[in-house]
Structures are given as C-alpha cells and as structure tokens.
Amino acid sequence: MARSPSPTNDQRSPAIDHLSHSQTSDDPLALVHTSLSLIDSGIDLLSHLSDDGQLTHASVLIPGGSVGKHFRHVAETFDALLAALDPEYYGHTTCNHGGIPTVDYDILLPPSRGAVARDLDTCRAAMGKVRAGLEAMTEGELGREVDVLAVTPSRQCMRSTLARELWFCALHAIHHYTMIRTICVHELGIALPVEFGTAPATLLLRPRGWKPPAEVWKAKL
C-alpha cells in the first residue's frame, strides 16, 4: 500500500494551540474550541489519506477495527449530541424532545451510515457536518440541561448538561483517535503529530519537545 504524505512527529497540531501551563481556567467556549480542534485534526488526517483502502484496512493490532470505523464512531457520537438540539438533524427521523433536549447515543441510524467507514469523501463530509454543528454552538447553550438516554440494558434517563455531554464526546473522540493512531503509525506507516489521540491533561504534563520512544515495543499503543 502506498504511503501517504502526512504530518511529522515534530509537528505541533492546532489541537493544543489553546493549551497553556499558566492557564488556570477556561472561558465557557473552551469545550467547543477543544472539540473543534479535535475534529479539525481528524479532518486533516483524512486529507492525507489517498485511497479508500487506507480507510478500510482491517487492523491486525486492533481486531475488527479500521480507521474508517473509528471515524464513524467519532462522528456519530457528536451527531447524537447535535441532534438533541435540532430534531431534524437526522434527515431520516423526527424526534419529539419536549421541553428538554434528549441525547440518545443509541439512536437507530440508517443503513447508509456504513459508507462513512468505507468511503473517504463520505467520511470527510460526516466530519465536516459535525464541525458545522459545533461552530453553531453558543456560550449560552453550554449550561443548558439535557436528558441522556442509556440502555443498561434497561432504558434509563439521566439529567446532564450540554457542556458535560460535549466533554464526553471529546473524550470519546480522543479514545478512538488513539486507536486510529495505532493503525496509522504501526500498520499503515503514516506519521502523526505526537498529540494526536492524547488527552489534554496528558499533553500538559509532557515537557515541550517530548517525543515517543523510537522502539515500537516501548511505544504506548
């Protein structure tokens, strides 16, 4: 498989531009900015993939996984949150949210969702749609109460806030980015910035100029 041009390990991506050791508190929109940076770093990676085969490559290190499947999960989780604010966000269904927006991470999705994991253009479009939804968020919305539905397997309903669920979506994205990183770096030979797939708290603890171990067996997969 041909190797695609990609960011180098020395590159500092936009995902951590807003982080500072001297920073003691974030403005209310910091969660939105962080989420946008995560989506942007994913879109940047997708722009460096050259064919659908890199998206669908069946991982050996993470059985059952692929870059495309992990991106699909990232997009769908953010989609579920954004759909709570806009009942018509999903074109195939209409939800009656009542007075409080309802977040359903297990919402039934159309069969066409599979294309996000298989087709580069579709995957890029899905991430772009998430970005547009995040850009539309306002500071006043972040404190808004939402109900979160969960299947445990019985159906549960919990009260939360938009900010709390946005942070969950961001952490969920980092979790999947970590696995995307493993596939890209160790199977596809695609170099990524060292902070891709790393939690903000971990980045703040690392000294500037930190680099991963050269030996693969010592690297944190």
Taking the domains of the chain in order of start, what are their residue ranges? Answer: 27-218
Q: What is the pLDDT of residue 215?
A: 54
Name the DSSP letter for residue 17.
Answer: T
- The greatest distance separating any two alpha carbons of the chain, rounded to the nearest whole angstrom, comes to 55
Residue type, 99: G
Q: What is the pLDDT of residue 94?
A: 43
Q: What is the pLDDT of residue 210?
A: 76
**Whether the Cβ atoms of residue 176 and residue 74 lie closer than 8 Å to each other:** yes
For residue 76, count CB atoms less than 10 angstroms from its CB and return exposed for 0-12, middle for 13-18, buried for 19 or more.
middle
Report the C-alpha gap between 82 and 166 in whole angstroms: 9
Q: What is the pLDDT of residue 55?
A: 97
Q: Which fold has domain 27-218?
A: Four Helix Bundle (Hemerythrin (Met), subunit A) (1.20.120)
Look at residue 30 and give its three-state secondary structure: helix
The CB-side HSE value for 219 (13 A sphere, CA atoms) comes to 14
Low-confidence ranges of the chain (pLDDT < 70): 1-26, 87-98, 213-221
Predicted model pTM: 0.81
**Whether the Cβ atoms of residue 80 and residue 172 lie closer than 8 Å to each other:** no
Q: How far is CA 171 from CA 101, 133, 211, in A?
A: 21, 18, 22
Q: What is the pLDDT of residue 138?
A: 84
